[in-house]
């Protein structure tokens, strides 16, 4: 096994802390949360007290000032256990990052300590019924009225939507300016006119609340603006690499875990006088998946290194996201087959992993969008190349 070299002994000590927290506070209750469609707010406060939220936020805002790898440890351990209910990744990797990167000092001082403690839960409001990957087409409007903006519109598929206390909301402040007309706001969850729709019933990730959100003339002060007016699209683009890297990190961890579960199961399950693991088909299939998972892990770890140095570009992140998402779905499908009928039973983690996996080809940018971006990048320099001279016909 090719060793990982990213993590220090201190990171591994923290990993043990995260594992104990999951074993005590999440694993015994996650099945019930899947029935409920939501996790309790108390879990967020416990996670905050244990230091699992927003690990890399600087000390001046109440954080530990740790490096990004501490957040990675949390993402990996949650993914390995198949615990998709607590929306820690959205909260930590996106919402707190937007506030840290683009917020005013007052916004940072107000929200970051609360998010670190798990007292305030963050969510990201971008997707709409008519605008998914193409964010330029959002219709939620924010109209200036004196020192305020009045927001009207709708969002959908919003993780942490039922629980959120603060929402990073993408709006149109100029409907004629395309991408340059998009502005981000921090919207509090108790603003008059802000309504949470139904908690959506999904194929997988059943314990994570996912909502429709409605904005009926929600009035927010201009001081709630995140960044400058009309800069929202550009700000969102700067965070795409980080978002897609987080998706790859999760998929890499799930892929490895599923292979481990399958090795353990097939080594015990018997058929026709031998274990399932004794069949050549089982060994060959798992050998292929293991090799691909190691390749995916090396790719992901390299992207983490680049990100921490500020060198991860959008195309590298798109390739990692595409490769790991496809591998994630392939692995849970082929491993479930080796579980036979038991793999179809919800009580087995492989069944839940199968249901949870399908969204990774959609969330954070669909596979088709990743292919488009990578393909476009391959050909971007062709216009700059001299055209080859054709030999004259003889």
**Catalytic site residues?**
243
55: alpha, beta or left? (left if phi > 0; alpha if psi -120 to 50)? alpha
Report how far residue 288's alpha carbon sits from residue 255's, in angstroms, rounded to the nearest whole number: 12
Strand partners of residue 172:
141, 182
Q: Provide the pairing of β-strand 166-172 with 122-125.
A: parallel
Please, where are the H alpha helices in 239-279?
240-268
- For tokens 């904005």, name the residue: 215
Distance (Å, rounded) from C-alpha 168 to C-alpha 226? Answer: 8
Query: Whole-angstrom Cα distance, residue 134 to residue 178?
Result: 11
- 3-state class of 275 per DSSP? strand
d(CA 204, CA 73): 23
Measure the CA angle with vertex 326, ends 323 and 329; round to 5°. Answer: 145
Neighbours of 367 (CB within 10 A): 16
Q: What is the dihedral of CA 27, 360, 341, 209, to 10 degrees?
A: 50
Bridge partners, residue 214, by sequence: 154, 195
Return the axis-axis angle of helices 68-80 and 280-308, rounded to nearest 10°: 160
How do strand 225-226 and strand 182-188 relate by DSSP bridges? antiparallel
Q: What is the DSSP letter of 381?
A: T
Closest CA to 73 of 244, 253, 240: 253
Contact 120, 165 (CB under 8 A): yes
151: β partners: 142, 218
Torsion angles phi and psi, residue 232, rounded to 5:
-60, -45
Helices 280-308, 314-339: inter-axial angle, 10-degree rounding: 160
């Amino acid at each position: 096994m090719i060793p990982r070299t990213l993590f220090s002994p201190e990171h591994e000590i923290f990993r043990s802390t995260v594992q104990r927290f999951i074993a005590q506070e999440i694993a015994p209750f996650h099945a019930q949360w899947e029935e409920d469609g939501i996790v309790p707010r108390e879990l967020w406060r416990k996670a905050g007290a244990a230091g699992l939220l927003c690990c890399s936020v600087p000390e001046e805002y109440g954080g530990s000032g740790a490096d990004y790898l501490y957040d990675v440890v949390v993402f990996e351990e949650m993914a390995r256990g198949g615990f998709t209910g607590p929306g820690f990744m959205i909260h930590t990797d996106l919402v707190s990052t937007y506030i840290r990167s683009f917020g005013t000092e007052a916004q940072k001082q107000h929200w970051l300590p609360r998010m670190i403690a798990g007292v305030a839960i963050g969510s990201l409001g971008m997707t709409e019924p008519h605008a998914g990957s193409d964010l330029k087409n959002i219709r939620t409007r924010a109209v200036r009225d004196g020192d305020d903006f009045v927001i009207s519109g709708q969002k959908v598929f919003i993780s942490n939507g039922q629980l959120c206390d603060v929402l990073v909301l993408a709006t149109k402040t100029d409907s004629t300016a395309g991408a340059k007309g998009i502005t981000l706001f921090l919207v509090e969850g108790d603003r008059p006119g802000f309504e949470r729709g139904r908690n959506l019933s999904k194929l997988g990730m059943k314990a994570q609340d996912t909502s429709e959100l409605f904005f009926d003339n929600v009035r927010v002060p201009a001081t709630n603006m995140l960044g400058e007016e009309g800069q929202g699209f550009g700000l969102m683009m700067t965070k795409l690499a980080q978002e897609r890297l987080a998706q790859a990190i999760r998929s890499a961890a799930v892929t490895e875990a599923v292979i481990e579960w399958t090795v353990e199961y097939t080594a015990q399950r018997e058929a026709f006088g031998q274990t399932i693991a004794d069949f050549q088909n089982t060994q060959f299939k798992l050998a292929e998946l293991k090799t691909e998972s190691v390749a995916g892990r090396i790719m992901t770890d390299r992207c983490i290194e680049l990100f921490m140095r500020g060198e991860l570009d959008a195309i590298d992140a798109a390739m990692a996201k595409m490769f790991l998402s496809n591998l994630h779905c392939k692995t849970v499908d082929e491993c479930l087959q080796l579980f036979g009928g038991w793999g179809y039973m919800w009580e087995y983690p492989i069944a839940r992993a199968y249901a949870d996996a399908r969204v990774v080809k959609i969330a954070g940018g669909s596979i088709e969008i990743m292919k488009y971006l990578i393909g476009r990048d391959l050909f971007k320099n062709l216009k700059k190349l001299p055209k080859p001279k054709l030999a004259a016909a003889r």
